[in-house]
Amino acid sequence: MGLHETGKVIFDYGREGRAAGAQLPPPAPEPSDLPDTLRRRGRPALPEVSELQAVRHYTRLSQKNFSIDTNFYPLGSCTMKHNPRACNALAMLPQFLGRHPLAPPGAGQGFLACMHELQEILAEVTGMRRVSLAPAAGAQGEFAGVSMIRAYHDARGDHERTEILVPDAAHGTNPASAVMCGYRVRELPTDRNGDVDLDALRAAVGPQTAGIMLTNPSTVGVFERHISEIATIVHDAGGLLYYDGANLNAILGKVRPGDMGFDVIHLNLHKTFSTPHGGGGPGAGPVGVRETLLPYLPIPIVTHEGGRYRWLEEADCPHSIGRMTAFAGNAGVLLRAYVYIRMLGQEGMVRVGEYSTLNANYLMHRLQAEGFELAFPRRRASHEFIVTLKREHDAYGGTAMDFAKRMLDYGVHAPTMYFPLLVPECLLIEPTETETREEIDAFVDILVAIREEASRDPEILHEAPHTLPVRRLDEVRAAKELHLRWSPETG
Amino acid sequence: MPFIPHTEPDVREMLAAIGVEAIDELFDEIAPELRTGQLDAIPEGLPEMAVTRLMHERARAEGDMLCMTGAGAYPHHIPQAIWQLVGRGEYYSAYTPYQAEASQGTLQVTYEFQSMMAALTATEVANASLYDGASALGEATLMAVRANRKAKSKRILLPRSVHPRYRAVAGTVVGNQGLELVELPLDVETGRTPLESVDSAGAEGAAAVVVPQPNFPGCLEDVDALVDRAHAAGALVIAVVNPTSLALLRPPGEWGERGADIVVGEGQPLGIPLSAGGPYFGFLCTRKAMARQMPGRVVGRTVDTQGRTGYVMTLRAREQDIRRSKATSNICTNQGLMVTAATLYMALMGAEGLERVARHSHAGAVALRAALAELDGVEPVFDGPLFHEFAVRLDGPPVAEVLDGLAARGILGGFALEPDYPELGNSLLLCTTELHTEADRAAYVKALRELVAG
């Protein structure tokens, strides 16, 4: 037992009357002009700690996290690549941090110049006509994209289109976003090679089809080979194609969504363009469109006219689907992506697609050679691939969850588990291009070692992790007791 | 190669292990006609030192102005410790805490954040963040429709005194889900929402009434009466608040007889830089009984197999990765790193620090309003109580010209109200915080006097 045992929250370090003195403004008099009925009566229960106590507590908490900076993090579909420090430092120059969102264009052109170039570069690398940087995350980009599909059909008086097609293996955000745009979702099956089932697609399209949402390479880790046929089928039925950019990293610089026939796309800058994941966000989810959808792009958008940059807003874009956030989206994240893109350049972008694909295929072949079962053994990996541990589960009783938890003991973050749902006991593994071959080889050794442990003593896996700050946590109890906050009365 | 560690022998041996000759063969499932040609519009890559020079040039072009504009984004002092800690790789480069045992740092920070937000707003629970205050309002209206099962409609009463951008974003978010956003008028004499408008606009049968405090034109609403009227009509109440103001003003959980049901707002004032509008974060707090209707992630406390305290994401059955088309929202990635910063901000400031920030901000605005009232051609639009923003009307030169003149003097001089509120005429919304000194206020008064006097 010590002063810092596990389980202490910041509030536990407080003492009445203690404060981080230097960080506070000087004392201020009681306001006299606020009516009593509007005044707060008691003080909120916030911590009363010194600067050192806060710094120490949050430093120690940080050490309980796995992160890219500290661990191999092959979390499939999340693209946990290195986050270059220059991107962070240069986006945090004081003039950028101090820029008020409502500052007039004349107050500073530097930020707007970066945003304009970012729009242009993203449009070029995706093959789209124009890009809006407004959406704050991938899911908001999906929402914006599907809203544009809806605006397009509405503008044509085509109100019978009530359905969005989504493959059964899609990210959950796809159906959820379609519903937020007022659509019904119709799921499409995946064939045994990982492609969309074309017969099912032909049977599903019709005058009710507003569009299809596709991720390519898909969420099962392979490139959708029939993409041109899919585009023809959906377009012939009067629907539009939406591209979920979650897996763009695999094909960056190699194939463009615009050339595949997509009408509208979103990008995850926190995946492909290396902005930090931040423990859950912030991300950024710019959207790009073909000519036909131009009028509907979300605002604001930066334009360059007569040598000056300015925002296009409501008056300039009367048919826009509107604003996504109060101001200009996650501007600081956009700046980080801009710096990253300028460092990569056109050659660097092509290499992202190439080396993320090389690493994934190498890792896939090494695991296959070690006897692990692949979900789609006859396919190339994209930047990720699926291993199924069904055989190990049947033989030793260890689940994909057990394998994943045991990996934590070996110091690697677990891959994505149990997604997509159609492959049993699966791990979706994405090494990214910034990992060395040695790191990938070490990961193979770890999986082999864990399988050996499973065959010898499956309890080691069941009870993992053994070496982390906590052992396996009771999620059922968390949901049942619903303890969502500390309070002075109950702790 | 930037950020790619492969040596030539690495590549050769890896390709041999795969059984191909060249990297390009790994793309052989892609039809040749789809392959990308030259990406001419993308510039050549730059080394770090060149991009550093470029970004410093761009930053210098931003200039450095005295910021007296608020309107939803507020300059405050941010203790140095915050962003040094937030920049630690363990926070910065981790992702969503899907593996709870390997993410106890992020999870406990989020739990502490939820505790602090619940305390500040006097509510029972908070979620782990939404994109910003405006999108949080949109999500809150959807949540209210789900939660208010007795309501006969999907009608939401939305005062004109709510930030115009928040109203616009809420319209975007809910536009295709059959919600009806009904505007409540602004009383141009008091700057408040007329109480009777709640009934006349149809609170009876509505799912919720939105109540801002302080409101966008800088006035303080009669929150008790608005909340009680809404509740009497069977509507829920969605409060939209500035978190700093809650150190001085009555927290929404205590408004009226029963308190607001859902509380949302912009978290930016809690340690987040202005940064051209983002990333910020939206917060959403509510009653425990309504927690299952919340959008977004939530962290709960539990125990491990040894009985030790730990934290996990909970109520997961609301979320899109589990419930897909039946989720409470499509949100996945949130604003986690901003929440980390806000948690540190509230820990360092404490109740005492936050109250000092609020008092200084308030006192500065009161003093500036009084000083401007002395100028010829300038009059406060409203004379009631305020928090740290207020409106002034200018006789004579149009506000747009005055703002240009102030900008030429290095002052970001306020937000022009007329485009959004024509009924308020040639007026300007101003803000002060603890950052503004008496000299700053005097400089503003002097500049405005020169410009208005012409």
How is A294-340 classified by DSSP, letter by letter?
GGG--B-EEEEETTEEEEE-TTT-TT---BSSSSSSSHHHHHHHHHH
Which positions in chain B touch A216 (Cβ < 8 Å)? Answer: none
Q: How far is B108 from chain A (nearest CA, A)?
A: 8
Which neighbouring-strand residues pair with B236? B208
Nearest to A475 among B132, B175, B314 (CB): B314
Domain membership of residue A160 (yes or no) is: yes
Whether the CB of B383 is below 8 Å from some CB of chain A: the reply is no
Give kind and range of the element (H or E) at residue A395: helix A390-396
Task: With a cut of 50, list the residues of chain A below it in pLDDT.
Answer: 1
Domain membership of residue A231 (yes or no) is: yes
Yes or no, beta carbons of B104 and A182 under 8 Å apart:
no
Environment class of A29 (CB within 10 Å of its CB; exposed 0-12, middle 13-18, buried 19+): exposed
For tokens 């070029």, what's the residue?
A124
pLDDT at B37: 82
Which positions in chain B touch A97 (Cβ < 8 Å)? Answer: 273-275
Interface test with B, best of A268, A323, A433, A474 (most B CBs within 10 A): A323
Yes or no, beta carbons of A69 and B356 under 8 Å apart:
no
Yes or no, beta carbons of A468 and B363 under 8 Å apart:
no
What percent of chain B is predicted at pLDDT more than 70?
A: 100
pLDDT at A6: 65
pLDDT at A441: 98
pLDDT at A104: 87
Domain membership of residue A121 (yes or no) is: yes
Q: How far is B389 from chain A (nearest CA, A)?
A: 14
| Amino acid (one-letter) located at A33 | D
Interface test with B, best of A37, A317, A325, A344 (most B CBs within 10 A): A325
Domain membership of residue A103 (yes or no) is: yes
Which positions in chain B touch A408 (Cβ < 8 Å)? Answer: 99, 101-102
Spatial neighbors of B209 by CB under 8 A, at least 6 apart, are: B156, B157, B184, B198, B203, B226, B229, B230, B233, B235, B236, B237, B238
How far apart are alpha carbons A51 and A57 in whole angstroms? 10
pLDDT at A3: 57
Give kind and range of the element (H or E) at residue A244: strand A240-245
Beta strands in A118-239, from DSSP E residues, in sequence order: 130-132, 163-167, 184-188, 209-215
Over residues B270-306, the pLDDT tens digits come to: 999 999 999 999 999 999 999 999 999 999 999 999 9
Yes or no, beta carbons of A434 and B3 under 8 Å apart:
yes
pLDDT at A1: 47
How far apart are alpha carbons B122 and B104 in whole angstroms? 26
Domain membership of residue A27 (yes or no) is: no
Which positions in chain B touch A58 (Cβ < 8 Å)? Answer: 85, 109, 340, 343-344, 347
Over residues B166-225, the pLDDT tens digits come to: 999 999 999 889 999 999 999 999 999 999 999 999 889 999 999 999 999 999 999 999
Model confidence, pTM: 0.98
Beta strands in B86-217, from DSSP E residues, in sequence order: 125-126, 155-159, 180-184, 208-213
pLDDT at A5: 61
Q: With bands split at pLDDT 50, 70 and 90, how would you rate the model's confidence at B102?
A: very high
Domain of A124, in residue numbers: 86-344
Nearest to A147 among B64, B116, B176 (CB): B176
Over residues A143-180, the pLDDT tens digits come to: 999 999 999 999 999 999 999 999 999 999 999 999 99
In chain B, residues 231-250 whose CB comes closer than 8 Å to chain A: 246-250
pLDDT at B34: 95
Nearest to A46 among B72, B329, B351 (CB): B351
Domains and CATH numbers, chain B: 66-74+350-453 (3.90.1150.10), 80-345 (3.40.640.10)
Which positions in chain A touch B266 (Cβ < 8 Å)? Answer: 326
A–B interface: beta-carbon pairs under 8 A: 695
Nearest to B93 among A67, A97, A380 (CB): A67
Domain membership of residue A256 (yes or no) is: yes
Domain membership of residue A275 (yes or no) is: yes
Over residues B19-72, the pLDDT tens digits come to: 999 999 999 999 999 998 888 889 999 999 999 999 999 999 998 899 999 999
Whether the CB of B91 is below 8 Å from some CB of chain A: the reply is yes
In B61-103, where does DSSP find H-type helix?
80-86, 89-92
How far apart are alpha carbons A234 and A206 in whole angstroms? 9
How far apart are alpha carbons B286 and B309 in whole angstroms? 25
Q: How far is B4 from chain A (nearest CA, A)?
A: 5
Q: Which two tokens stand for residue A27?
A: 């004392």
> Looking at residue A148, which CATH number applies to its domain?
3.40.640.10
Domain membership of residue A448 (yes or no) is: no
Task: Order the strands of the A373-374 sheet from edge to edge.
Answer: A373-374, A385-388, A426-429, A416-417
CB A420 within 8 A of CB A188: no
Over residues B109-145, the pLDDT tens digits come to: 999 999 999 999 999 999 999 999 999 999 999 999 9
How many domains is chain A built from?
1
How far apart are alpha carbons B387 and B362 in whole angstroms? 5
Q: How far is A237 from chain B (nearest CA, A)?
A: 22
pLDDT at A7: 75
Nearest to B304 among A349, A416, A470 (CB): A470
What percent of chain B is predicted at pLDDT more than 90?
A: 94
Yes or no, beta carbons of B347 and A54 under 8 Å apart:
yes
pLDDT at A191: 95
Q: What is the ipTM of this complex?
A: 0.97
Among chain B residues, CA nearest to A487: B115
pLDDT at B40: 85
* Radius of gyration from C-alpha coordinates of chain A: 25
Nearest to A348 among B2, B89, B340 (CB): B2
